[in-house]
Structure 1
Amino acid sequence: MRFVVYGAGAIGGTVGAQLFRHGHDVTLIARGAHYEAVRDHGLRLDTPDESVTLDIPVVSRPADVKFAPGDVVLLAMKTQDTLAALAELSAAAPPEIVVACAQNGVENERLALRLFPDVYGVCVVLPAAFSEPGVIEAYLAPVTGQLDVGRYPRGDDETARSLAEAFTGATFESQARPDVMRYKYGKLLNNLGNAVEALLGPGDQGKEIVRRAREEGAACLRAAGVDAADVRPLVGRSRPVRGRPRTGGSTYQSLQRGTGAVEVDYLNGEIVLLGREHGVPTPVNELLRRLANRSAREGRGPGRMTAEEFWTALEENTGR
């Protein structure tokens, strides 16, 4: 089983590095300066316990990979980049490959299934950061994170069990789950707070906003008949890396790096979509979606808003 990690940032880089360290055949697909740094100097993985530099094979696009049936492609880019990535992948890879979506949200698997018959969901609970080109930080050790996996849309099979076994042997907690999307919906509820953290910064100042966003999310899932598992975050177990504590999650990091885009349309926006489909009001998630997107477009860094400013904006938008 060869792993092709498509999107070797914080999540993909960490998973790819640990699989490579534990004897698996791994190829990374990275972009730009990150690709060049890994190609020229290797991928450095920093954890609370150690720092290692790994000479992992890396390419800059799927067309440079010599795919074979049985390869496992781990998608690890943000959801807003998935459609374009899948188009490149389908042009380069045979349909017999396995596509496993190690991504937030619940839309990636549907997109992949249009093009590939063997699609798997991976529920990722993994505090990590892409600190600079060629360098990934993972904040848990000796267990790096949790990667539960199952066939999409449902089911348990030998591939799911093999993936779970590979992840477990590479320092992750992992179970093959026939209802993996139930866990990904649970993770989605957790991720509704990502935009709050990005806009207000880490800490308790956005606690009530997060509660309201998740309350709306739970109401939408109930209206849609979606059962969500209780997925516990592991951030509370994180430890400093090279003396630096983890500063924030994926949306926070996107604003911090000035990427120009965030994935809130597929996190808070998923709840807004369900609310519109099922007649459930979602004013908090809609405002979070719009504000986070605006911050990304305008190049604003994280933590530029106060809770009071958010509530004022919500009142102006809703009249309440």
Structure 2
Amino acid sequence: MRYIVVGAGAVGGTIGARLYQGGHEVLLVARGAHYAALKRDGLRLVTSESAETLDIPAADGPVPTRDDDVLILATKSQDTIAALAPWPSDLPVVCAQNGVANERMVLRRFDRVYGMCVWLPAQIPQPGVIAAGGHPYSGMLHVGRYPQGVDDLGEQIVTDLGKHGLVARRSPDVMRWKYGKLIGNLANAAEALVGHAPGLSDLAERARAEARTVLDQAGIAYSTPAEEAEVRGHKVDMRPIEGVERGGGSSWQSLARSSGSIEADYLNGEIVLLGRLHGVPTPVNEVLRREANRAAADKLPPGSMSPETLAALIDGRSAA
């Protein structure tokens, strides 16, 4: 079986690297300077304990496919449709992404879709280099068939992922874990907007509390922080990597790269959508979604807004 990682950035590149180290055939699909560095020099995987250059094949777009190919989609949610458009729809797709909308979008075109709940701290300090901060394992991955269950291929994917440097679990209720992860990811927009200033944790908890109210009203099950901590145990602790400064999460990194887009529509925006469907006000996540999109469009750097300004915008929307 060959694993084709579509979007071999920090998360996708780490998963691809660990699969390769486990003895599996891997192809990394990337763009721009990152692709050029992968093609020229290989992938440099750096952890708190080691640094290794891996000669993994790389491409900057679709390649001729085989019957035994599995696509691992690790792009941001806003890029899902475009990233998969050139690939044959008879291939299985594993959505290694934040948010809960991707699997349903992909299922419109692809018959075999798998959800993956990803806890994997990583970043790209420079093109071709991935710094994976998880210790002693780089990440914890829950995998299940969408919308539910685990089939033979899902079992094989879990086995392959768990061979080197990753913890993988079969999860018939994978979307419950992804909704729990969604609640945690609602802080991403706030972190991107205000940085790590005092007041961030209060803003994050307001967004999460609002989300729990919405999900409960909608009757959607989600994993709890206590459950998640128990499952992870001490398997994916964060360790500093010498010479690599960790700035922030995925949304923070989007603003730092001036990418022009951000994932807020599929994180905070998911709560806004559910709130509108079920008649629950969502002023906190509505403002976070709006302001994160504005910052991305204007190519503002991370931390460009004060927590007081953001809180005032939320309070104003709540009052309205």
**Structure 2: distance between partners of 1:297 and 1:74:** 28
Structure 2, gaps ≥5 residues long = none
Equivalent positions of 1:92-241 (< 5 A) are 93=88, 95-202=89-196, 204-230=198-224, 232=228, 237-241=237-241
Runs of 4+ deviating beyond 6 Å: 233-236
* Distance in 1 of aligned mates of 2:90 and 2:80: 19
Secondary structure at the residue paired with 2:19?
helix
Shift of 1:130: 1.8
Partners in 2 of 1:86 and 1:191 — Cα distance?
Answer: 24
Q: Is the 8 A contact 1:150 1:177 kept in 2?
A: yes
- Name the residue aligned to 2:72: 74
Mapped partners of 1:158, 1:310: distance in 2:
47
Query: CA deviation digits over 1:160-202, x for unaligned, max 9?
Result: 1111111111211111111100000000000001111111112
- Code of the residue aligned with 1:111 in structure 2: it is M
Amino acid at match of 2:248: G
Residues 103 and 124 in structure 1, CA contact (< 8 A), matched pair in contact too:
yes
CA contact (8 A) 1:70 1:96 kept: no
So what's the TM-score if we normalise by structure 1? 0.94
Shift of 1:142: 2.6
RMSD between superposed Cα atoms in Å = 1.6
In the alignment, is the contact (CA less than 8 A) between 1:46 and 1:242 conserved in 2? no
Work out the CA distance in 2 between the residues paired with 1:71 and 1:176.
20
Counterpart of 1:86 in structure 2 is 84
Q: Which amino acid aligns with 1:313?
A: L
Provide the C-alpha distance between the structure 1 equivalents of 2:164 and 2:135, rounded to a whole number of angstroms: 12
The answer on whether the counterparts of 1:72 and 1:98 sit within 8 Å (CA) in structure 2 is yes
AA partner of residue 99 (structure 2): G
Q: How many residues align?
A: 314
Higher mean C-alpha displacement, 246-255 vs 306-315: 306-315
How much does 1:152 deviate?
0.2
CA contact (8 A) 2:135 2:237 kept: no
Task: Tell me the residue number matched to 1:37.
Answer: 37
Letter paired with 2:183: L
Distance 2:73 2:214 in 1: 27
TM-score (norm 2): 0.94
User: Runs of 5+ in structure 1 lacking a partner?
Assistant: none
Cα pair 1:255 1:300 within 8 Å, conserved:
yes
Q: Which moved more, 1:144-153 or 1:237-246?
A: 237-246
Identity %: 49
Please state if 1:11 is matched with 2:1: no
Q: How far does residue 22 in structure 1 lie from its aligned partner after superposition?
A: 1.6
Alignment of 1:231-270 (within 5 A): 232=228, 237-270=237-270
Other structure's SS at 2:97 match:
coil
Instruction: Note the C-alpha offset of 1:113.
Output: 0.8
Which residue is 2:279 aligned to? Answer: 279
Once structures 1 and 2 are overlaid, which stretch shifts more, 208-217 or 240-249?
Answer: 240-249
Contact 2:136–2:237 (8 Å) recurs in 1: no
